[in-house]
Amino acid sequence: MDYDVAQRDHRSLILFLETRAVDYSGRVHTKHMNETDMEIARGWDESGFLEFGRIEASDPFFHLGNHWVRLSTRATEEAHKERRAKIERTWEKRTYKTTAEKRAA
């Protein structure tokens, strides 16, 4: 399975997994994933888009994450593109004005 930017679940999942890779040493707790996410992640692992697997149960911090993720260079690039696109989408939908906008009005 390949990453498809047109699919919302792919975009959401790549951002989630990129955050876990960056901020949590790759540790992923699957309680934050649904079955579709798991299928996509396994497919990406099989295709080499990223690496995704289970952490062994005797790990003392298993309760913090029962799986691990490691993004390929391409997966990292796609995550960064999506993060930039999401920044733009959410900026356009914001419900507040900046002080400069207020002064210009």
Q: What is the pLDDT of residues 30-44, one digit of tens each?
A: 999 999 999 999 999
- In this structure, how many other beta carbons lie within 10 angstroms of the beta carbon of residue 52? 21
Identify the CA nearest to 21 among candidates 65, 59, 70. 70
Low-confidence stretches of the chain (pLDDT < 50) are none
Domains of the chain: 8-94 (1.10.10.10)
**Contact (CB, 8 A) for 86 and 13:** no
Q: Which residue's entry shows tokens 């951002």?
A: 15
Q: Please state, for a pLDDT cut of 90, what percent of the chain lies above it.
A: 96
Could you list the beta-strand ranges (E) of 5-88: 27-28, 50-54, 67-71
Residue type, 80: H
Cut 0.85: pTM above it: yes
pLDDT of residue 23: 97
Signed CA dihedral, 31, 32, 34, 38: sign only: negative
